[in-house]
Amino acid sequence: EADIYQTPRYLVIGTGKKITLECSQTMGHDKMYWYQQDPGMELHLIHYSYGVNSTEKGDLSSESTVSRIRTEHFPLTLESARPSHTSQYLCASSPRAGGLYGELFFGEGSRLTVL
């Protein structure tokens, strides 16, 4: 069982609110990722990090931002949530070995609904 945790699991908020989705892993993995997943669709990479103080945007344009101040922590922030941000957000990590994309260990996801 992977040691990667996301909070909150479910969040319903109003338009314009600022939200932070938390992600922590206890495996000491250098690489961490945020994916967005909508029903019946493939996962889309929105942010990734090679290590502390390293963050990059992914393939899918996102208005969210991330930070990596500590190895184990990779929070995602939306400054002003909109209904279009309604989605499932999955955090993942992978070890250094196996190239940039070794096996991904996923958290259980944060389901965000913006009214």
Partner 1 sequence: KNQVEQSPQSLIILEGKNCTLQCNYTVSPFSNLRWYKQDTGRGPVSLTIMTFSENTKSNGRYTATLDADTKQSSLHITASQLSDSASYICVVSDRGSTLGRLYFGRGTQLTVWP
Q: Is 12 in the site for partner 1 (CB under 8 A)?
A: no
| 28 CA to centre of own chain | 17
Residue with tokens 């889309």: 44
How many residues form the binding site for partner 1 (CB under 8 A)? Answer: 19
Minimum separation from the CB atom of position 100 to partner 1 (A)? 4
Stretch that binds partner 1, among 14-22, 60-68, 74-82, 95-103 (CB under 8 A): 95-103
Q: Which is nearer to partner 1, 63 or 103 (CB)?
A: 103
CB 112 within 8 A of CB 87: yes
Rg of the chain in Å (alpha carbons): 13
Q: Is 43 in the site for partner 1 (CB under 8 A)?
A: yes
Minimum separation from the CB atom of position 93 to partner 1 (A)? 11
Which residues, other chains included, contact 81 with Cβ-Cβ below 8 Å and sequence gap of 6+?
13, 14, 15, 16, 17, 18, 19, 112, 114
Q: Is 2 in the site for partner 1 (CB under 8 A)?
A: yes
Minimum separation from the CB atom of position 78 to partner 1 (A)? 20
Neighbour count for residue 18 (Cβ, 10 Å):
10
